[in-house]
Structure 1
Amino acid sequence: MPPQRKGAAARVSEDTEDLTRHPLQAILLADSFATKFRPITLERPKVLLPLVNVPMIDYTLAWLESAGVEEVFVFCCAHSKQVIEYLEKSEWILQPNFSVVTIESHNSVSAGDALRLIYERNVINGDFILISGDTVSNMSLTQVIQEHKERRKKDSNAVMTMVIKQSKLSPITHQSRLGTDELFLAIDPQTKQLLFYEEKTDNLRGIIPLDNALLGDNPSICLHNDKQDCYIDICSQEVLSLFTDNFDYQHLRRHFVKGLLVDDIMGYKIFTHEIHSSYAARIDNYRSYDTISKDIIQRWTYPFVPDVMFSGNSATHLEREGMYRASEIEQSRSARIGTFTVIGKGTRIGNNSNISNSVIGKGCSIGSNVSITGSYIWDSVTIEDGCDIRHAIICDGVVIKSGAALEPGVVLSFNVVIGQQFIVPSYSKVSLYQQPTVEDSDEELEYADNSSGTVDSSITCTMDTLNREMMSETPASQLGPGGVGHVWSICEGGHEEEWRHSVAPIPADKLAEATQSLEDDLEFLNLDGNALSTSGELKPGRNGTDSEDDDAEDSRDDSIYYEKEVEATFLRAVNENIKVPDVILEMNSLRLSYNMTSADCAGAIFYAMMKQALEIPHATAGELRKNAASIIDAWNNLLKFYSKEIDDQIEVIMKFEEMCLESVKEFSPHFSQILHILYDKDILEEDAILRWADEKKDAEESDKVFVKQSEKLIQWLREASEEED
């Protein structure tokens, strides 16, 4: 029976393939080979720094296991003993069908050195995942691996597939929300082959230096500066041998990727795989640390969230409005815990203290009348009475004495003591270590510590285990009475990087300067906001219909992303009591970034306001209306700023209609009352309401629901208008 014989042959073929199949492997680089997290990384490796109270490396390993990876090789250099000891004591060692093997080196100073050493060990047997231990993702690997394997069958030169994601860039700061600089990519839209990769530099100001040969050899090229490199790569074994053959390859992107793209002799190719609904991001600086922490708390990374994934957080419970609380917490009844806040196990919080948009670690002691906003407090921190902390990172064992204050952007490394009433200036970095005189990488300094045995292998650093040669007595005046630690100086030109890469919001004066500079540039170039594009395609014979469909789809996606960004910005403004002029600067940045009109901005802000009113606890319909009235009253100047024209006001009304019909139906019965509130607050003029009503005259009955509900108000306005005439 031929069909049966054919099926049997197919099964034999599949069985043979299974026998030769290698387990899916990953190389995890536990070193960043950078200095951006100094002074913290002088004492603890970056991958073991807590991210929402869980070491960064746990997020990466948890994702790799869930994605089907069976064997992970963790390459560690800086503080390697800390990493190895942590993994040996962790539950990863006990996971079935998931092997975690460490590879230690004390003389590798780059990713290239790491991959060359792994090649020498001969442990990689097939295609593998290349990733760093500071990456958070929940994407599936099935499709990208399948695409990579299919390409390899057709073209053996297809050695790598790079994961990318949509990322809107602010034209004000030329940064993504992760604090990374502008990235220029050229991609073949048909094959998804990467043709050009260039990170923004001071010499590259929006001008992409494409080789003429690149345009001539490729009939279709898409140029992008709206993509985020997720630093997740699917690689063939050749990648390791390429690093071994070329010792100039040190950095994965600046050297290896760019080197392959310009190498015409070997003909190796890199392709891209874009994810849309999944999450993937790398912690590259303090700003991305802040952004990704918030994404975790707001559950964009599900299932890798505080109350679900990690057994160490099994006692953490999600409560209202994104507030997570662990067990054994002592909290005074007068203390207030705000939205999007995580409180670790065994922490004590005193009378009248206020904490919002922050992560508090385990075993912390927070006194009375303490204010903490947008900050990251790690384990065993003591904060005495009356302290004010805004947008700061505070490491294990720090003591902040009574009445002290941390201005935005401060980083306090392990066991630092801030004296009474002392105010730590913005963007200061304080450590028990003196600032190194030579700006080498953290790793080079730390390797020397490891080899000499002066760095403790435990994760929790104490005074006795610090390198005594880098410590000295600190003048009390430097950190106030009783203060202990060294304030690091900011090198010349470093202030610019400090505010760009800090956990603190970008200062209003910097936004104002950048906004004015952009407006001047646009005026000089005789362009308006709508002429700017974040992505373009160079393609002869372009099909107009397809282009229009693509543009429409992109526009819908932009609107969705824009509304989410506006909502997040408004929520932060509410929780942190940001003043309206400063919020307007941030909203203008978003508006320019997404090329939106003032009407779009007005509609998105009103939507965010109503969502916030809905989040405030209410038991009755009357209380919901009061919530809405209170939010409108508090933020009417913000909404007025973007609703100056009648068309903008009509957009607000139409957005409210859309909300009541689709996303926020709870407001449907209150449409006319809230419309009246907007009129009373001078946000809506009578002409806007009457024009909206007139435009509905010839509409279907289903589109007149809210006009009919507002008949009394509309009639009253018409009569008032006639009397005025």
Structure 2
Amino acid sequence: MTHSAHYKPEKAQAPKPRYDPLRLPAAILAEPRRRRRRERPKLNLPQPLPAAAAAAAMSQKKSRGGAAAGDDADELSRSPLQAVLLADSFTLKFRPITLERPKVLLPLVNVPMIDYTLSWLETSGVEEVFVFCSAHAQQVKEHLEEAGWTGKPAAREMAVTAVESHDAISAGDALRVMYGRGVINGDFVLISGDTISNMSLKDALQEHKDRRKKDPLAVMTMIIKHSKPSILTHQTRLGNDEIVMAIAPETKELLYYEDKADNSHLCVTIDKDILANNPTLQLHNNMEDCYIDICSPEVLSLFTDNFDYQHLRRHFVKGLLVDDIMGYKIYTHEIRSSYAARIDNFRSYDAVSKDIIQRRTYPMVPDVLSFGNCHEMKLHRQGIYKASDVTLSHSAQIGANSVIGNATSIGEQCKISNSVIGEGCSIGKNVLIHGSYIWDNVIIEDGCKVSNSLVCDDVHLKAGAIVEPGCILSFKIKVGKNVVVPAYSKVSLLNKPSNEDSDEELEYADTNSGITDSPPFSISKSNADHPTIICEDDDLGASETGTSGVLGYIWASGDTGIQDEWRQSIAPIPKEKLQELQHAVSFDDDEGSEEDLNNRPSEADRDNDSEISVVEDDDYTKFEKEVEETFQRALDGVHQDNLILEINALRLSYSLQHADCAGAVFYSIMRGALVAAQSTNDNLLKTTADALAKWKDLLRNYTKTVDEEMEILLKFEEMCQDITKEFSPLFSKILPYLYDKDVVSEDAILRWAEEKENADESDKVFVKQSDAFIKWLKEAEEEEDEEDEDEEEE
């Protein structure tokens, strides 16, 4: 039975007011505030050796290596650790931007991508790095020198050498060039310059070396990590396609690899010889390839011997796995608490940027590492980073998880949230920027709105311009007054090249590709075969027809059109697309339920000597972690309806109930409140009340029954006892708040207390702590029963 009365402690004689957890006792208000988190120290990178000392050290290493030439294992261990860094991604996914600047030099939270990769290699103990350059090689070499990675004398102890080849159009070509140079002397790290990591290489290197001593055919170790794809999109949060791997559980040998699984039929075909030779194997679709490999020198010679090897995974890895003649083997090393991710598309660019801002990549974060000419950043509350020379109006609002670069000015009444603003930008009045990346020297005039888009250097948005979600504005684009750039538009001063290779994702290495002799021009609707908005008018005023107002070429989206642009876009997945995908998944589940019954294995099939262990994430802990990650993205601006759709999709993938969602969502909200209180030094009770008020509708979506409400109470008990003990003394204060906000009902609370009556004393801690509130509920229920009886008698 429910009623509208509200709890108040017994001492008060006045009418019972509504319970307010923010009216705190004086004792709580007098509690000392949490200490502010100390500023992170700058990472002390190794100081460079003088040239003579460095040469002497290398000479000593070589002499020691020569003395032990007869012992391959000793020679392997004493060789300086080398790395090959591919500064060309050999893909087209960042076009049109990469027609003018190489991908590895694109700013990631205001720092070129390659600087993160080189810094990680240096702190991991790599002594020599060969940076392979193809497209825009001169730009890469100039940056390496300006940032202090190369030059005379070298600015760092790690030796960095640029290797240039304009003929290479694939990763395979690059490695064949490296083999021809003869500079790799032992095991080496193979990585691309768009990879961000903070993992330690020590364990993975040791595993690789130990295997090599026992088995010379173990030529490569791949770094992988857990990252379950969405049941709706079959993609990870980085926008990559689902990967299926078969791994031997004891040895961690990779037996099968498919990066373009047949998602429409969920079909995986594994050679019967693999099953025959491996009594137990684990089939994973919850692993992400980090594209960090530890390789033996034989890897280079294998590329040289097989000129058809172009792609590292599609050709080389799969080629070795099916080659039963040479017998070469690939192994895996899974990282758990460390971070590693490759920026493969615009969605992963967005995800990794947020990870850096939220310090998941520590120490690779803006306020710890500074590169080259990058200015020092300072971390403020709510994950806001600002350079020292920022001009910020008093009325401007900078929201959580935002970065403001040096020499940038922000006008009155501006609202910026979940965004990165580069250096030297001028932002006018009443500008709204959300979930976007504004690079250097961008001018945004009054009243503009930019949502979930990327704006490159020297772009000019005139007053009132609107950039809709998913847009890419390449270098020096001009958008006229009050012009709306449609969602998912890619705009460049360079026209789209007509000689692209549609069969392979190979980087078009010609740095002048796409440049046309004729300037952008204005067209009208009558002759517009493509959605191109082009204008050469200096004033860029929007015409009456609406077809003018942007200086640049709008690139066509290809054969699939804009229908699939959302998959690898910075913009969140549209609500209607999520609903469509969820409906398709539900339909497939209904279709498959009967099919599964008709295709159950026979007794003879189940009695087979071979056992396949299919690794499914049915563990509630993993589900809870994924819900928390999904909820964290909601804090970055994902609409609550979309959040519900994503959580429902996770529930389907794990075959769980609404009650499981209720507990997981409550856990995520409370964890978020705890983190917010710790980072801002605010009172935990107030922060929790604010969080529950904001997300109460989300909780109510999963608390339709008393059992589901009970799940929240049980989860809260569990958190207070173990995971988040900080809430323990606040249980009796938060419980009435949950009741007042209709998150849990009177029936659920009384049933919870009743079930605890015969429990152990250790299980009654929070019931006793809430005894006054529970007693009040019972008395209020009795009073209401008496009122009902009196009404019936009348």
Normalising by the smaller structure, the TM-score range is: 0.7 to 0.9
Contact persistence 2:82–2:129 (CA under 8 A): yes
Contact persistence 2:500–2:508 (CA under 8 A): no
- Structure 1 equivalent of residue 454 of structure 2: 393
1:10-159 pair list within 5 angstroms:
17=74, 21-93=78-150, 94-159=154-219
Contact persistence 1:79–1:446 (CA under 8 A): no
Deviations 1:515-554 (A, max 9, x none): 111111111222899xxxxxxxx9977999xx99x999x8
CA distance change for structure 1 residues 137 and 551 in 2, over 3 Å: closer, same or farther? same
CA distance change for structure 1 residues 515 and 173 in 2, over 3 Å: closer, same or farther? same
- Structure 1 equivalent of residue 521 of structure 2: 473
Q: Distance in 1 between matches of 2:642 and 2:340?
A: 30
- Structure 1 equivalent of residue 4 of structure 2: none
**1:569 partnered with 2:617:** no
**1:712 partnered with 2:779:** no
**1:447 partnered with 2:514:** no
- Structure 2 equivalent of residue 585 of structure 1: 645
Q: Distance in 1 between matches of 2:286 and 2:677?
A: 38
Q: Distance in 1 between matches of 2:359 and 2:325?
A: 46
Q: Distance in 2 between matches of 1:619 and 1:144?
A: 34
Match among 252, 271, 274 for residue 214 of structure 1: 274
TM-score between the two structures when normalised by the length of structure 1: 0.88
- Structure 1 equivalent of residue 21 of structure 2: none
Instruction: Classify the secondary structure of the residue corresponding to 1:91.
Output: coil
1:198-597 pair list within 5 angstroms:
198-201=258-261, 205-311=265-371, 312-313=373-374, 315-440=376-501, 447-449=509-511, 467-469=515-517, 471-474=519-522, 478=534, 481=541, 483-526=550-593, 555=619, 557-559=621-623, 561-572=625-636, 576=637, 578-597=638-657
- Structure 1 equivalent of residue 222 of structure 2: 162
- The structural deviation recorded for 1:62 is 0.6
- The structural deviation recorded for 1:469 is 2.9
Task: Decide which moves more: 299-308 or 666-675.
Answer: 666-675
- The structural deviation recorded for 1:714 is 1.3
- The structural deviation recorded for 1:407 is 1.0
- Structure 2 equivalent of residue 7 of structure 1: none
- The structural deviation recorded for 1:611 is 4.2
Which one-letter code corresponds to 2:574 in the other structure?
Answer: P
Instruction: Classify the secondary structure of the residue corresponding to 2:509.
Output: helix
Task: Decide which moves more: 657-666 or 426-435.
Answer: 657-666
Instruction: Classify the secondary structure of the residue corresponding to 1:634.
Output: helix
Deviations 1:71-103 (A, max 9, x none): 111111010110011112222123443111111
Q: Distance in 1 between matches of 2:78 and 2:331?
A: 24
Task: Decide which moves more: 364-373 or 691-700.
Answer: 691-700
What is the RMSD computed on CA atoms of the aligned residues?
3.1
- The structure that is helix-richer by fraction is 1
Which one-letter code corresponds to 2:650 in the other structure?
Answer: L
- The structural deviation recorded for 1:434 is 1.2
Which one-letter code corresponds to 1:90 in the other structure?
Answer: A
Q: Distance in 2 between matches of 1:614 and 1:500?
A: 33
In structure 2, stretches of 5+ residues that fail to align are: 1-66, 525-532, 542-548, 597-605, 786-794
Q: Distance in 2 between matches of 1:19 and 1:232?
A: 20
1:675-690 pair list within 5 angstroms:
675-690=735-750
Q: Distance in 1 between matches of 2:369 and 2:683?
A: 37
Deviations 1:650-671 (A, max 9, x none): 1211222333445555544443
CA distance change for structure 1 residues 147 and 343 in 2, over 3 Å: closer, same or farther? same
CA distance change for structure 1 residues 20 and 268 in 2, over 3 Å: closer, same or farther? closer
Which one-letter code corresponds to 1:54 in the other structure?
Answer: V
- The structural deviation recorded for 1:471 is 4.4
- The structural deviation recorded for 1:703 is 3.0
1:607-618 pair list within 5 angstroms:
607-614=667-674
Identity percentage over the alignment? Answer: 55
Deviations 1:618-666 (A, max 9, x none): 9999975555444433332211111112221112112223334455555
Match among 757, 760, 764 for residue 697 of structure 1: 757
Q: Distance in 2 between matches of 1:282 and 1:496?
A: 25
Which one-letter code corresponds to 1:360 in the other structure?
Answer: I
- The structural deviation recorded for 1:700 is 3.3
Which one-letter code corresponds to 1:472 in the other structure?
Answer: P
Which one-letter code corresponds to 2:482 in the other structure?
Answer: Q
CA distance change for structure 1 residues 335 and 664 in 2, over 3 Å: closer, same or farther? farther
Q: Distance in 2 between matches of 1:618 and 1:129?
A: 38
Q: Distance in 1 between matches of 2:465 and 2:301?
A: 55
Contact persistence 1:334–1:353 (CA under 8 A): yes
TM-score between the two structures when normalised by the length of structure 2: 0.81
Q: Distance in 2 between matches of 1:377 and 1:406?
A: 12
Which one-letter code corresponds to 1:75 in the other structure?
Answer: F
Contact persistence 1:522–1:528 (CA under 8 A): no
Q: Distance in 1 between matches of 2:724 and 2:374?
A: 33
Contact persistence 2:382–2:679 (CA under 8 A): no
Q: Distance in 2 between matches of 1:161 and 1:710?
A: 55
Contact persistence 1:571–1:612 (CA under 8 A): no
In structure 1, stretches of 5+ residues that fail to align are: 1-11, 456-465, 530-537
- The structural deviation recorded for 1:366 is 0.8
Which one-letter code corresponds to 1:380 in the other structure?
Answer: N
CA distance change for structure 1 residues 69 and 20 in 2, over 3 Å: closer, same or farther? closer
CA distance change for structure 1 residues 239 and 539 in 2, over 3 Å: closer, same or farther? farther
Which one-letter code corresponds to 1:39 in the other structure?
Answer: P
Deviations 1:424-470 (A, max 9, x none): 11110000111222333899785334xxxx69xxxxxxxxxx94537
CA distance change for structure 1 residues 471 and 33 in 2, over 3 Å: closer, same or farther? farther
Contact persistence 1:352–1:368 (CA under 8 A): yes
Contact persistence 1:179–1:500 (CA under 8 A): yes
Instruction: Classify the secondary structure of the residue corresponding to 2:693.
Output: helix
Which one-letter code corresponds to 1:511 in the other structure?
Answer: L
Q: Distance in 1 between matches of 2:139 and 2:232?
A: 41
Task: Decide which moves more: 490-499 or 269-278.
Answer: 490-499
